[in-house]
A and B are shown apart, each in its own frame.
Chain A
Amino acid sequence: MTVTQQVLTIAAVVVGTMATRFLPFLLFPANKPTPGYVRYLGSVLPSAALGLLVVYCFKDISFLSGSHGIPELLSVGVVAGLHLWKRQMLLSIAGGTICYMLLVQMVF
């Protein structure tokens, strides 16, 4: 690829990415009343989207081979356990991440 072609490729990716971010705001501008259906979606989608995002983190894990996703599941358990117990965001994140690093570096 020439430099121009590279720039055009990157530009195409930028435009594609930004389309997914800007589209809802362009379709439903703030100065016009948002349809009730879309407002309903806006109120129920955050929880659903966060659920999707958590699952998305597991998309490259193979449960049938390698470590079977055990370090991931154990560490998510640590994150959730710590968070339910202390509800300190940084503690839960650091605890789970350190647990995961120890598991993949020393055990699996």
Chain B
Amino acid sequence: MQPKRIRTRALAAAFPHTVPILAGFLFLGIAYGVYMRAAGFSAVYPIAMSMTIFAGSMEFVTVNLLLGGFDPVGAFGLALMVNARHLFYGISMLDRFKGTGAKKWYLIFGMCDESFSINCTADIPAGVDKGWFMFFVTLLNQIYWVGGAALGGLFGSFVLFSTEGLEFVMTALFVVIFLEQWFKDKRHYSALIGMGLSGICLLILGGDGFILPAMLAIWACLTLFRKPLEKAGEDV
């Protein structure tokens, strides 16, 4: 196949997977752009930040950092903590990103929650190049996000109907992807460990500080039960 046809085919296969994110990211991106404008920044800021940081929750946090005192070390540490879950994504994708050539660096750069969850679980049809498929999933998601932030930053609030609650589209997406992964797993220990320990940590520690303890607990549990879990993974 010609390179051009390989890319077209991968784009066509990738696009349907990104449609929920088109809705969610345009909405959240616009909200982010409007938020930055309201905080007194020109549209250049949301556009540049959505392009370079490309991690939704961290971008909202950064607005507050920009309004406070100058503390780049603190900003760096906060970004590490807020985005620590990406470490899990990276370890999960070590194998899947292999053999994707130079595209790999963009795949890693653009590995937000949404791109990770699709690239990690999507059944890529036979005859579609894996690397280009994941590349287009990532690229389309970033275009939606930057596009939304640009619209919000440039035009402010111009919504025609009440969009209150539209942000739930992201939760719905993650629930569906979680279920798809659940159908694929023969055993559900890992999913239950991930959800159960996170839930417990959230209940005990509250929303602001639960994620690092939850990650540590998941990692410790998976390490401690490596032998039985590996054995369980083997028997079909």
Contacts and interface: CB of A to CB of B under 8 A. Distances in A.
Interface of A: 1, 5-6, 8-25, 28, 30, 34, 37-61, 71-72, 75-76, 79-80, 83-84, 89-90, 92-93, 96-97, 100-101, 103-105
The size bracket of the interface on B is 35 or more
The interface centre, meaning the residue of A48, A71, A72, A76 with most chain B CB atoms within 10 A of its CB, is A48
- Chain B interface, DSSP helix/strand/loop, else mixed: helix
A50 B164 CA distance: 25
A45 B233 CA distance: 13
B94 A21 contact: no
A51 B173 contact: no
Contacts of A79: 171-172, 175-176
A13 B168 contact: no
B176 A6 contact: no
A55 B90 contact: no
Contacts of A58: 171, 202
Q: Is the interface of A mostly helix, strand, loop or mixed?
A: helix
Contact of A50 (B52, B109, B178): B178
Nearest to B111: A21
B79 interface: yes
Contacts of A76: 171-172, 175
Contact of B181 (A9, A50, A57): A50
